[in-house]
Chains A and B, each alone.
Chain A
Amino acid sequence: MRRYAKYAFIMFVAILSSLGCARQDDNVINIGAAGPMTGDQSKMGMDLKNAVELAVAEWNEKGGVLGKKIVMLAGDDQADPKQAVSIANKFINQKAVALVGHWNSSCSIPASKYYNDSNMVMISPATTNPQLTLQGFKNVFRVCGTDDQQGRIAAEFVLKTLRPKKIAIIHDKTAYGQGLADYFKKAIGDKAEVVYYGGIIQRDPDYKAVLTTIKENKPELYFFGGIYPEAGRLVRQAKEIGMNIPMMTGDGVFDPTFISIAGKAAEGTYVTFGKEPAGLASAQSFIQKYKARYGDPGPYSIYAYDAANIILTAIKETGSTDGARIAEYVSKTTFHGAFGDISFDTNGDVTKAPYVVWQVKDGKFQQIQ
């Protein structure tokens, strides 16, 4: 028994000392960056973290904000809602002022309550599920568009350009994927017949069973609400069972990894996403700096960069680290970001959400509209 008491004591000391390490330094301003940094969506989280890191480094070179150094805290939510909530609590304990994140809708929505309740400002660069900003939280914003806009634009494009009579719809059962699929279905209405609607299991390697069922219903197009690892496997396996119809999908698939998983099978896939930033004059400096540090920017890097800059500008202009004051400033101001001018409506959504349709051609995403 005494032996156990000794171990228990050592554990106790170890826990105490680790708590000691987490104590606050008052001379810095903490900004969180959260997203899936490990697992199959890890590239998205790293793109986000890198962009925030770049923005923070630029501000620190100019002397920080309010005379204090800015520290970025990285939080890996593993695309898991439970993990996202624990990251939120971690940031709150570390007295972070604001957060850029999360990436997944299923993480942002549950975590947003915690940030809002503890007066942190949250700006998501990528969460497109409309629910996020409909909860009445004053401190929650996003710099990307929403899935109802995206679903509508995808449906309009499909009905106007491709004119299919029969459509199949699949989703990955997440807040983002199923949400997007539902908005698409609603926007299609009765203008085309939906011959299949159903979910798939994320991380399941084999989708041939569901694809074969879809093929049997002879749709002319299938829509997928979900993220690129599943989308890559879907188009690849669809071609393998001889299903030669195009896939239409959303911004979660917009990443070169999709093409590298699917190979030639990716050709012809339609994706809704924001406009190409490479053509924007305001984005040039960001793209160059990002490239020099981390290689090619990811699809959401520029959104995360703008989100971080909005937060830091608001802290500087209000001269405060109070979440409510920062949020009020953010909601009333037009920011000149790398992606153009950004302003927010009363919900915390961007006032203009320019989705366009892209298509995979010759192994690359190309804007076609």
Chain B
Amino acid sequence: MFSQQLINGLALGAVYALIALGYTMVYGILQLINFAHGEVYMLGAYLGIIVLGLLTAAGLPAYSLALTLFLTVLVSMFFCAAYGAAIERVAYRPLRKAVKLAPLISAVGMSIILQNFVMLAQGKEYKNLSPLFPSEGFTVFGANVSPVQAFILSASILLMIVLNLFIAKTRIGKAMRATSQDRVMAGLVGININQVISVTFMIGSALAAVAGVMVTLYYGVAHFFMGYLAGIKAFTAAVLGGIGSIPGAMLGGFMLGLIENFGASYVSSVYKDAFAFLILIITLIIRPSGLLGQKSLDKG
């Protein structure tokens, strides 16, 4: 039972962690909470269903499941990255020098626009996806790991490693770190700030797209409102881990998934959503900067 709940929690946590990364990266650079990020995740889920539908019509899953998944994730990532960059360009860049509340309100507005756009374009009904993976999995330490769970865990861990390498090793990764430390100074030494910010949004959105595709594969449903709660939970995960910290978002995501699962199984399944927020409140009281967050030097 414990090991099974551990696996369930980790799979759920991986999804939260992928979304939380987008929140934390944007916050690290702009000190902006991008409330439209949950909607990008929802767009990823819808794009996943659309692409899978097209590929299924073309008969690809029967030929190669791995290739189908790869293409689905890739196309969804690509479109969501474009959405992310466009959201930044349209809703945040014009307000970058405005008072701090202005981009926040713009983010909430963007979130409402995207939700309603999907509702009008795709309908209010739940979109169902018949199971793509076989439901029988394999057993590890008494826990049943389904193929979807294995896919979610391995793909998200792989992505997180790639992201860490990208930020630590590449030129643009270095520019991102510099921008998050001091945006003005980074600009003065010749870093193209706008480009760095665009890339940050694109990476965050592409990760959210992967999370969206994974969730539809996992649960078989998507709807236009799904980004709201997932977004809030991922934001919670980012704050729990310490907003602005990339390892913090990953830790926070996994912890949140585990807390929800253990809470639901050992205490009460009815109060599942409450556990996440309860833990958040306790963490913020004891450690306001989050688990791995650094004490803010107060940039303004």
Give me the interface of A with B, judged by CB distance under 8 Å: 38-40, 42-43, 173, 198-201, 204-210, 212-213, 215-216, 229, 232-233, 236-237, 239-242, 257, 260-265
Contact = CB atoms under 8 A, between A and B. Distances in A.
Interface string B245-269: 0000000000000001111110011
Given A241-B4, A242-B144, A260-B128, A209 B221 contact: no
B135 interface: yes
Contacts of A198: 268-270
Contact of B8 (A212, A239, A265): A212
Interface string B41-53: 0000000000000
A39 B224 CA distance: 10
B298 interface: no
A212 B265 contact: yes
A208 B261 contact: yes
Q: Which 6 residue pairs of A and B lie closest in terms of their CB atoms, listed nearest first?
A: A209-B264, A242-B144, A240-B146, A210-B269, A263-B131, A208-B8
Nearest to B223: A40
B1 A213 contact: yes
Nearest to B268: A198
A229 B221 contact: yes
Given A209-B261, A209-B269, 18 more contacts: A199-B269, A200-B270, A206-B260, A209-B260, A209-B265, A210-B269, A212-B4, A215-B1, A233-B221, A236-B131, A237-B219, A241-B4, A242-B137, A242-B144, A260-B128, A263-B131, A263-B135, A264-B131
Nearest to A213: B265
Interface in B201-241: 215, 218-221, 223, 226
A213 B263 CA distance: 11
Contacts of A209: 5, 8-9, 260-265, 269, 272
Given A229-B126, A236-B131, A236-B135, A205 B219 contact: yes
Contacts of B8: 206, 208-209, 212, 241
B270 A173 contact: yes
B133 to A, nearest CB: 9
A265 B133 CA distance: 12
Main secondary structure of the interface of A (DSSP, over half): helix
B69 to A, nearest CB: 17
B197 interface: no
A195 to B, nearest CB: 14
Nearest to A209: B264
B19 to A, nearest CB: 14
Given A205-B215, A209-B264, A239-B136, A265 B131 contact: yes
Nearest to B269: A210
A43 B8 CA distance: 31
B124 interface: yes
Contacts of B220: 232-233, 236, 261-263
Interface in B109-142: 124-126, 128, 130-131, 135-137, 139
A126 to B, nearest CB: 19
Contact of A206 (B4, B12, B146, B263): B12
Contacts of A207: 269
A232 B130 CA distance: 10
B180 interface: no
B26 interface: no
A212 B1 contact: yes
A205 B137 CA distance: 20
